[in-house]
Structure 1
């Protein structure tokens, strides 16, 4: 006979045994059965069976495995595929409950599958089938009617049923013979070991696979000791606590009965279920953490419960042979048992629970075993009331310690998130939950912000917000002091807005508890479980106690947050007001104000749109650094009459206070718009992509006054603005409006005062010169009229013409410079020779020069002409020479240096050796930033005259400087425009 281990299975059509050769198949079967009977080792049976099955036509996969009842698995003993003998054929596969292999083991009937690749119950074999291209498959059980020893899997590359007619009968005969030989070898194994010589057995002669098989059927288990009950009570009584006594009792019963498991089911009134609280087994159960949640409803085993309630012991030896309606089939399926022995635990008239021993194989329960389990159940009934009392005390103590620890953490720890994390971690462990959420209700939007989540999901962000509830859900939740209990969220219509978010945490059961005992709640504690266990009354009490403690914590945290917010607003508002009060420069005021508003509101963008009174074009003032996602076109001119946002802010600022009495918005002076409300005209300059909402408020101190600008605040769409922020914004913007108007008005008044002061100096100097000139002309005229002999009439006419010319020079002054100096830009320019200009200025100070005996000299005079307003230039040069002469000491020196800088500008430098007040030099160079209310050297001559000269020179487009040189001389430097030759 060919061993299939030497090569792969033959393809269809190339087999050594065809379907037409029935006689040869029968002969091969007879030979195989005879060889099975001759074997003395279990390991030698498997190749013979595999070899026969490989000879069947169309077979491309054979796998033989023995069943391990202890851990519900299948140990592969070998097989064959079309590509050889892979190692996985000798691996261990789990017999998953409800799977294909488990069905064959439990039902002990062959199962045929048309396509193993598409069979979802095949588990790992589905992947194997895809790899080996196996489709049609049949699985046969190995074993007697009452016991399953293993199975055989036969597969083909073709779809549908692969064994028909006589082949099915031959396989059944083969497996029946295999079963008999397994029992024969297993029964002879103890005898052979007992009679064997005490010498080392070779490894090849040992039976390593005997442990892979389930223990043999033994209808007579070992007898119980008569004194076992008294010993049991004596041993149990030595344990310190009642809970430990019940555990020891189960352990001792398990040692005595030797079942697969010994369990205690107790009644749970909240769910009307029996819950397995304790179990004892030789090996740990798979999924150890799920043992505490194994439960069965009393409604599915009513006859079983009724029997136990009457005080009887229920003994089932073989579940497959039961036909009684009282058979607890769901319980057997839950325990995966074939034989069970159950005794009731009765407290008063109630079936408090039952003690049960189960076996995966058939077993005849003796009377002594029944009596033992009954006595143990009675012991449990004695211990149960005390154990329940101890359990409740322990739960109360645990809840008290949890609440006490949380209270101490609240009082001592300032890390609120750390306290919340500690509390939620303890709560999860105490209630055996999987998720906790602490949410805060926002009365403005109706949404719920997640304050804390424990534990955070791995690899992704936690929940940020929960959607707003329907009016019915919110009314029920806010008016209900007791916890909202939801055992299956997917099937519940309550809190429908939260279903998607809560189910994403894989928790179907939830508790929703208000953290406040009275009043409208603003915080809720959500606790979720991912198991099917219901919420007990003790769970609700513990959760409610912790929720109330967290309510104290959240209230303190909210108060602290409000205090921090108010402190931040107060400090930012104070800094903003101080910045407004400290500056008198309009540009610095505008820039400092928008930066303080950004800090105050914690907004990414604050801008100011401002304009001069009477203008229609506004310009944008933004801080130096703006986030790109909140950008704004800083160099963009805005038509304030066409922009809807600016017009809306201006219109609302012009409204009377009575208009706002019935306004729906609590702060109507602030325009608040969303991204869809912004007009295209506004989006042309407000270009940031993440700008989701905009606040706008006009700078207007009174509805009757003209506005000076509009403040723009931009932020994300989900930004919420508490009332305190609106109040701070309105306060700071109103102060900015007053400061903006005050500084603007002050600038207008100061500029007007300076212009009038310059006009007064200019007119005064012109009148002085005119008075001097007219005085000289009058003397000439008087002498001509009173002289003897009289002068000629022609000479008198020339004097009169000179008189008329001097008066005519005042006409432009009276007509064009009545209230302010005549602007030089756009006017016809005059020209005068440099030498004439210098000679005329020196003549006017000649008397002072002679009086002090000063030495004056003009250096580098050139044939150049000065252009511009000659009258003003003449007076400025005269004032500079007069100041130099006044501060010079007697017999001092005044030098005038003339130098053409280029073809357009001339430099006149006047140096003198006089003394000058250093403060005067400082005030002249910082005259635009002086405190006008403080005393200054510019309030009286010569500083007052020099300030007028500086202003007139700046108006002429020229340059005037006054310095003190290193050799203590004073330099007056005047740069004038030259006449450009044609």
Structure 2
């Protein structure tokens, strides 16, 4: 009869152990896991005090997460416990091995737990680490009213299985949390690639890329700075709060950066390097870092170069007004977005060049047709003049023919109806202008006659147009 009772008791223990291990494997809520473990330990081992504390690695302390004790006031057992060198709890956390204490009331290493042990009548105590993957996730304290404590091998095996299962479950919860907390740049990048195909203009595409970056990284602001090689200057082209699309808009913004101010920053961009400035160390010199942050009015910065065919076009700037540790996923996202911007702008230039070539080819054919269809020279010139003025958005078209005296007579011309063509010959050109025109094999251009020293002898005639 006694043998049957013992066998039945063992079977019940195994069933209870199986149920609790199944819960530890499947449950994802830390509170439920700890509550399940507490009730199992209490029902199977009958310790007077059972306490589970979780370990905070950053602060090096334990937090009382749950307890079963012979008192209704568990306030002390559910608070933070700082770990000090030499105390029992730190020994368990550091060495990750169980520690047996004959009398917790008298052990000087127990600290504040001596008072708890005295109040609750606890003597023999086991401190068991919650250990998984060489990491400690907490400590379980099991207290008995008897002096000294002894565990049977079967009891040790059960404790090891249950508390090991709890540690494994806590490890998995932390891994899942880290995975969800880590920013994955691939997902928003795939989405923005799809969105870019739906946006018709480069301006809107750039706005879309910046708004997506702002949403993913959540900095104070996101800006796009464009580089002017002539002025060796970075100017703000697009920002998360404003949009500037032309170099002429430079005067309307205070944000800008001279290369001479931060030359090593410029060199890093030319070499295709991502510049990260935050709470960590920057690859720039201290003076350049300070000057760069001051000019951009920020405290943390991620700057990725924008390049096309090996040429630096500008940089994508992610700025935060607070010191910040940039995550690896954030760095990869900014670098990838900067490359996308380079492709977007590069495709814009390619499309513009193809369109220009197409228009030039078609325009040449139109001129040839205008000449071929006209039997009279004046009609042919008139048709060609109309086509050329339309293409160049010009108001006036003149053909000047030199005379033996050096003057230039008007051979043919068109003007708006409210203006008259010149009636007197154009005077001879200055020698340098004559040489300038004679030696050129390509079309010559004067952007602003009022500010140019070219064709000064024709000022009067041209001003009449």
Which bin holds the TM-score, normalised by the shorter protein? Answer: 0.5 to 0.7
| From 392, 397, 410, the counterpart of 1:805 | 410
Matched, 1:775 2:377: yes
1:607 counterpart = 2:222: yes
How is 1:848-927 mapped onto 2 (pairs within 5 angstroms)?
none
Deviations 1:252-274 (A, max 9, x none): xxxxxxxxxxxxxxxxxxxxxxx
Tell me the residue number matched to 2:188.
Answer: 572
Q: Distance in 2 between matches of 1:528 and 1:424?
A: 12
Q: Which runs of 5+ in 2 are unaligned?
A: 68-72, 119-124, 243-251, 283-288, 381-407, 416-425, 427-432, 453-461
Residues 652 and 533 (structure 1 numbering): CA distance in 2 closer, same or farther, change over 3 Å? farther
Q: Distance in 1 between matches of 2:324 and 2:141?
A: 28
SS of the aligned residue for 2:317 comes to strand
Q: d(CA) in 2 for partners of 1:623 and 1:490? A: 62
Match of 1:408 among 2, 22, 25: 22
Q: Matched residues in 1 for 2:210 and 2:332: separation? A: 14
Return the match for 2:342 from 737, 741, 747: 741
**Matches of 1:718 and 1:428 in 2, distance apart?**
44
Q: CA deviation at 1:590?
A: 3.5
The aligned counterpart of 2:393 is none
| Structure 2: distance between partners of 1:753 and 1:869 | 36
Residues 673 and 484 (structure 1), Cα distance of their counterparts in 2 relative to 1, 3 Å cut: farther
The aligned counterpart of 2:30 is 417
User: Are 2:156 and 1:536 aligned?
Assistant: no
Structure exhibiting the larger radius of gyration computed from Cα positions: 1
Partner of 2:140: 527
- Given that 1:437 and 1:454 are in contact with CA atoms closer than 8 Å, whether structure 2 keeps it comes out as yes
Q: How far apart in 2 are the matches of 1:606 and 1:531? A: 59
In structure 1, distance between residues paired with 2:237 and 2:100: 57
Residue 610 of structure 1 contacts residue 710 of structure 1 at CA under 8 Å; is this kept in 2? yes
C-alpha separation in 2, matches of 1:546 and 1:619 = 60
Counterpart Cα distance in 2 of 1:652 and 1:637: 20
**Partner SS for 2:312:** coil
The residue matched to 2:318 in structure 1 has which SS?
strand
2:333: which partner in 1?
732
Report what 1:671 is aligned to: 276
> Within 5 Å, which residues of 2 pair with 1:833-844?
none
Distance 1:406 1:819 in 2: 89
2:127 alignment partner, SS class:
strand
- Would the alpha carbon gap of residues 742 and 400 (structure 1) be closer, same or farther in structure 2, given more than 3 Å must change? same
Post-superposition offset of 1:751: 4.4
Partner Cα distance (2:53, 2:130) in 1: 12
Q: List per-residue Cα deviations over 1:499-521 (Å, max 9, x = no partner).
A: 8xx98x978988351423xxx51
Aligned: 1:551 with 2:167 = yes
Deviations 1:776-825 (A, max 9, x none): 499xxxxxxxxxxxxxxxxxxxxxxxx9412688999x979x66987689
Between the aligned partners of 1:536 and 1:622, the Cα distance in structure 2 is 69
Structure 1 partner of 2:53: 437
TM-superposition CA deviations, 1:74-117 (whole Å, max 9, x none): xxxxxxxxxxxxxxxxxxxxxxxxxxxxxxxxxxxxxxxxxxxx
Preserved contact between residue 483 and residue 514 of structure 1 (Cα < 8 Å): no
- The offset of 1:426, in angstroms, is 2.4
CA contact (8 A) 2:34 2:52 kept: no
How big is each residue's C-alpha offset from its partner over 1:458-502, in whole Å with a ceiling of 9 and x where there is no partner?
79x976x988999xx999856x56324574799439xxxxx8xx9
SS at match of 2:227: coil
Gaps in structure 1 of 5+ consecutive residues: 1-240, 242-385, 494-498, 626-633, 657-667, 779-802, 829-867, 872-982
Is residue 699 of structure 1 aligned with residue 305 of structure 2? Answer: yes
Alignment of 1:606-685 (within 5 A): 607-614=222-229, 615-619=232-236, 621-623=238-240, 636-641=254-259, 650-655=266-271, 669=274, 671-674=276-279, 679=290, 681-683=292-294, 685=296
Q: What is the rounded CA distance, in whole Å, between the counterparts of 1:534 and 1:600 in structure 2?
A: 59
Note if contact 1:613-1:706 (Cα within 8 Å) is conserved in structure 2: no
**Secondary structure of 1:511's partner?**
strand
- Contact between 2:52 and 2:138, CA under 8 Å: does it hold in 1? yes
Paired residues in the alignment total 368
1:946-971 Cα shifts (integer Å, max 9, x gaps): xxxxxxxxxxxxxxxxxxxxxxxxxx
| Structure 2 equivalent of residue 711 of structure 1 | 317
In structure 2, the partner of 1:327 is none
- The 5-angstrom pairing of residues 356-505 of structure 1 reads 403-413=17-27, 415-426=28-39, 429=42, 431-433=47-49, 435-439=51-55, 453-454=65-66, 480=95, 482-484=97-99, 487=104, 491-492=108-109
User: In the superposition, relative to structure 1, how do residues 823 and 423 fare at CA in structure 2: closer, same or farther (>3 Å)?
Assistant: farther
Aligned equivalents of 1:468, 1:673: Cα separation in 2: 32
In structure 2, C-alpha distance between the alignment counterparts of 1:589 and 1:720, rounded to whole Å: 25
Deviation at 1:531, TM superposition (A): 9.6
Q: 8 Å contact 2:35–2:66 — kept in the other structure?
A: no
Partner of 2:400: none
CA distance in 1, matches of 2:148, 2:213: 51
Secondary structure, counterpart of 1:611 in structure 2: strand
Shift of 1:708: 1.9
1:319-334 map, 5 Å:
none
State how far apart, in whole Å, the 2-side matches of 1:595 and 1:468 are.
48
Q: Residues 594 and 606 of structure 1 are in contact (CA less than 8 Å); yes or no, is this contact kept in structure 2?
A: no
Contact 1:506 1:530 in 2 (8 A): no
Q: CA deviation at 1:549?
A: 0.8
CA contact (8 A) 1:696 1:712 kept: yes
Distance 1:748 1:639 in 2: 25
The question of whether the paired residues in 1 share the 8 Å contact of 2:225 and 2:314 is answered with yes
In structure 2, what is the Cα distance between the partners aligned to 1:769 and 1:559? Answer: 78
Q: Which secondary structure state, in structure 1, belongs to the residue aligned with residue 97 of structure 2?
A: coil
- 2:259 is paired with a residue whose SS is coil
Residues 747/703 of structure 1: CA separation in 2 closer, same or farther (3 Å cut): closer
User: 1:428, 1:715 → 2: CA distance?
Assistant: 50
Question: Cα deviation per residue 1:618-660 (whole Å; 9 max; x = unaligned)?
Answer: 32755469xxxxxxxx96413153666xx6665445458xxxx
Secondary structure of the corresponding residue to residue 674 of structure 1: coil
1:851-875 CA distance string (max 9 Å, x none) = xxxxxxxxxxxxxxxxx9999xxxx
Most deviating of 571-580 and 480-489: 480-489
Please, which of 596, 616, 638 is the counterpart of residue 212 of structure 2?
596
Higher relative CO (Cα under 8 Å, sequence separation at least 6) belongs to: 2
Deviation at 1:683, TM superposition (A): 4.5
CA gap 1:476/1:432 in 2 versus in 1, 3 angstroms: closer
Q: Name the CA distance, whole Å, in 2 between partners of 1:535 and 1:707.
A: 75
TM-score, structure 2 length as denominator?
0.54
Q: Is the 8 A contact 2:219 2:318 kept in 1?
A: no
Q: Is the 8 A contact 1:515 1:523 kept in 2?
A: yes
Cα RMSD, aligned residues only: 6.3
Structure 1 CA distance, aligned partners of 2:319 and 2:49? 45
Q: Hey, what's the Cα distance between the residues in 2 that align with 1:869 and 1:765?
A: 28
Is contact 1:515–1:551 with CA below 8 Å preserved after alignment?
Answer: yes
How big is the shift at 1:676? 9.7
